[in-house]
């Protein structure tokens, strides 16, 4: 009998715990929730486990403060780090979260050398680059979660504006996970119909702007934290694609090696996501305006990467 997949989530805060919830409910595998705060991962894991008889899942869910409990994982997810507060940019978190991601990655890869690693910690594009360098793994096995979340926000805003089901809206966001992200209006559809058949250009531009600032909008409302339901759901979708080898076409923060004319940088791009991780990067033909926006987004990520490269 095949064993169940083993998933480690580092960081038992709101995002990590919510991701664990989505994954347990989808019965993706046994879950280890790890955090340095004593009692926090154990308590949340026990609470989640006890929801199994009600929600109808039988996955094992355990909490731990040490990294030994993560040994032999198939999928590693890093959510640990300092969350944004009102007035902070993702880049404000750079130095603190770099130290966290570096040390966590070292602990994880030593104990699960054959796993696939997903990073959520902000600034996610830079932290994914850090994890890739520290791990020494092939780029296919290290990625960040951002494009699914950004695209979901764009889809939700379009559905609200048009007054249709979110299920019938498709959209794609490229680039870095920040204000320089690139929502591709040309690839946004409602039931297969281009959105410019439903909305005028000023309305579409307003949705694009709101998507770029989507995380900040939530931070300003919560005041003491950042988004966690949608990021957790996005992580679960990635885990589902990888652990069930679905070959999903999804936007993720991937290491580029010549794609889109860029090299040695992490960018949100559409990929084929399966058991091998990022199995293929899909290159789109971008219009001049889109390519210029993508280049600006690349520059916004290259700068912080350059500032920390000597530390890796």
Residues annotated catalytic, as ranges: 177
Going 297 to 299 to 300 to 306, the CA torsion angle's sign is: positive
3-state secondary structure of 265: strand
267 with 175: CB under 8 angstroms? yes
Omega within 30 of 0 (cis) for the link into 268: no
278 with 68: CB under 8 angstroms? no
Where do runs of H (alpha helix) occur along the chain?
A: 14-25, 40-50, 52-55, 94-111, 124-135, 147-162, 201-212, 214-222, 229-243, 288-308
Structure tokens at 135: 């791990």
Integer Cα distance of 70 and 45 in angstroms:
14
H/E segment holding residue 187: none
Integer Cα distance of 218 and 213 in angstroms:
9
Q: Number of H helices and number of E strands within the chain? A: 10, 14
* Residue 271: how many other CB atoms lie within 10 Å: 24
Integer Cα distance of 90 and 303 in angstroms:
13
Query: Which residues does residue 10 pair with via DSSP β-bridges, in sequence order?
Result: 34, 78
Burial label, 210 (beta-carbon count in 10 A; 0-12, 13-18, 19+): middle
């Amino acid at each position: 009998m095949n064993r169940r997949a083993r998933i480690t989530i580092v960081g038992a805060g709101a995002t990590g715990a919510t991701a664990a919830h989505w994954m347990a409910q989808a019965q993706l595998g046994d879950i280890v929730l790890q955090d340095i705060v004593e009692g926090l991962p154990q308590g949340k894991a026990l609470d989640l486990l006890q929801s199994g008889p009600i929600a109808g899942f039988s996955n094992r869910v355990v909490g731990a403060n040490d990294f030994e409990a993560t040994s032999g994982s198939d999928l590693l997810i890093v959510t640990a780090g300092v969350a944004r507060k009102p007035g902070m940019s993702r880049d404000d978190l750079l130095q603190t979260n770099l130290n966290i991601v570096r040390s966590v990655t070292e602990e994880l890869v030593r104990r699960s050398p054959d796993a696939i690693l997903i990073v959520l910690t902000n600034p996610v594009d830079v932290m994914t680059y850090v994890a890739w360098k520290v791990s020494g793994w092939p780029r296919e096995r290290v990625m960040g979660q951002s494009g699914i979340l950004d695209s979901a926000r764009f889809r939700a805003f379009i559905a609200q504006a048009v007054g249709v089901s979110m299920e019938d809206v498709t959209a794609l966001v490229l680039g870095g996970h920040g204000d320089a992200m690139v929502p591709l209006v040309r690839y946004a559809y409602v039931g297969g119909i281009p959105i410019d058949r439903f909305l005028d250009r000023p309305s579409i531009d307003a949705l694009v702007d709101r998507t770029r600032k989507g995380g900040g909008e939530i931070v300003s409302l919560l005041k003491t934290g950042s988004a966690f339901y949608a990021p957790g759901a996005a992580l679960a979708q990635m885990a589902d694609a990888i652990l069930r080898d679905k070959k999903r076409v999804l936007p993720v923060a991937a290491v580029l090696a010549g794609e889109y004319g860029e090299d040695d940088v992490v960018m949100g791009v559409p990929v084929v996501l399966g058991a091998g991780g990022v199995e293929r990067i899909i290159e789109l033909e971008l219009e001049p305006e889109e390519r210029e926006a993508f280049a600006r987004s690349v520059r916004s990520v290259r700068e912080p990467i350059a500032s920390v490269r000597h530390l890796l």
